[in-house]
Amino acid sequence: MSVAVGIGLTNECNLACPHCYRPTLMKQRLSVPEVETILDNLDVGSVNLGVGENGVHPEYREMLALLARRDVKTAITSNGYSLNMLTDEELSAFHSIELSFDFPTKEEMDEFRGKGAWEMAIESLERCQALGVPTSVAAVMMNTNYGRMEEVARFAAGLGCDLRVNVYQPVADEEFTLSYEQFWQGFANLFAAGPVVVCSEPLVNAIMGLETTRGNPCGQRSIRALPAGTITPCPYWPAAAARIPHLADTGQSIWDRPEFEKSRHLPKACEPCRFAESCAGGCASRRALRDRLDEPDEYCPVVRGEDEVRRVQEMLSYTLSNPEDVPKAGNACTTVIKTAGNLPA
């Protein structure tokens, strides 16, 4: 079975965004042989480059050439820096490119991410579009922007892009963590913005009634290689499962290692739930970060009673878009909204 692989070449970045989860105490970089080991020992269906700003890595272009030679479907999430340094030919080799925007205005973006961040991202996005490379806007849903998801979607639509949204995870601190009400209101706002292409956030998928997930993709259909040279089920997972050389270990499959087994764990309290098969306890990383792996997702309405489930379901008015090839949907709990061509001016 081919898997979606998330690779972070480095934890370095040209910006210092306050919501970023990358470790910053020491410089971490993967080597070319480590990336080759990943490609040699996994059935790689697609690769998404994330974590730090990959273009800061001194061998970044060599890594891209390696992925191109291996004919790997490659996507990248960037603030623009990793794209500006590439030739048109190198840019055109990407299967898709995401530019990070968490707010819909230049003033907010530059205040949050740093002066010049807005223009760098806009210029990169426009260049990619001129080359015909599929582009989208990526945002993190936080307690500071959950009420503005429709505005962010309208902004993305104005750029001719769809919108992909991840929920903030408290890897470093709780500053931007969504409350229970903010979580569900944020998704209600998001679904009001356009048809849903994909929602692989398992709890939301189940409550929507889609039930097209089987728990989170992490540790099942996806795997992460982090800049420290470690392998984890998810970039937010609090412990390493192994180091990259262990992928070549014929004695034990990486999927059978304890941290991967934990990522697939169904909490006992969730076993009788009618959503258990599709939700599987919600986001395992969120539960693991709280040291509550054997408890339901903190955003679960089921534990609050059937009236609450019905209330949340009534909030989530949505339509579905035709399925599309979204590489990132295979290796993260994420939601993609079809905004391009769907929102009025």
Which pLDDT tens digit goes with each residue over 136-177? 999 999 999 999 999 999 999 999 999 999 999 999 889 999
Q: Is residue 35 part of a domain?
A: yes
Per-residue pLDDT for 191 more than 90? yes
Per-residue pLDDT for 300 more than 80? yes
Where in the sequence is the domain holding 149, given as residue range(s)?
Answer: 3-337
Q: How confident is the model at residue 96 (pLDDT cuts 50, 70, 90)?
A: very high
Q: Is residue 188 part of a domain?
A: yes
Q: How confident is the model at residue 345 (pLDDT cuts 50, 70, 90)?
A: very low
Lowest mean pLDDT among 10-24, 94-108, 211-225, 304-318: 211-225
Q: Is residue 342 part of a domain?
A: no
- The reply to whether the predicted model has a pTM over 0.85 is yes
Q: Is residue 343 part of a domain?
A: no
Q: Is residue 345 part of a domain?
A: no
Q: How confident is the model at residue 344 (pLDDT cuts 50, 70, 90)?
A: very low
How far apart, in whole angstroms, are the C-alpha atoms of residue 298 and residue 164?
22
Q: Is residue 65 part of a domain?
A: yes
Other CB atoms within 10 A of residue 330 CB = 21
Q: Is residue 156 part of a domain?
A: yes
How far apart, in whole angstroms, are the C-alpha atoms of residue 296 and residue 323?
29
Q: Is residue 213 part of a domain?
A: yes
Query: What's the burial of 251, exposed, middle or buried (CB within 10 Å: 0-12/13-18/19+)?
Result: exposed
**Identity of residue 11:** N
CATH of the domain at 144: 3.20.20.70
Q: Cite the DSSP H helix spans in 169-305.
A: 180-191, 202-208, 258-263, 276-279, 284-289
How far apart, in whole angstroms, are the C-alpha atoms of residue 53 and residue 58?
12
Per-residue pLDDT for 328 more than 70? no
Q: How many domains does the chain have?
A: 1
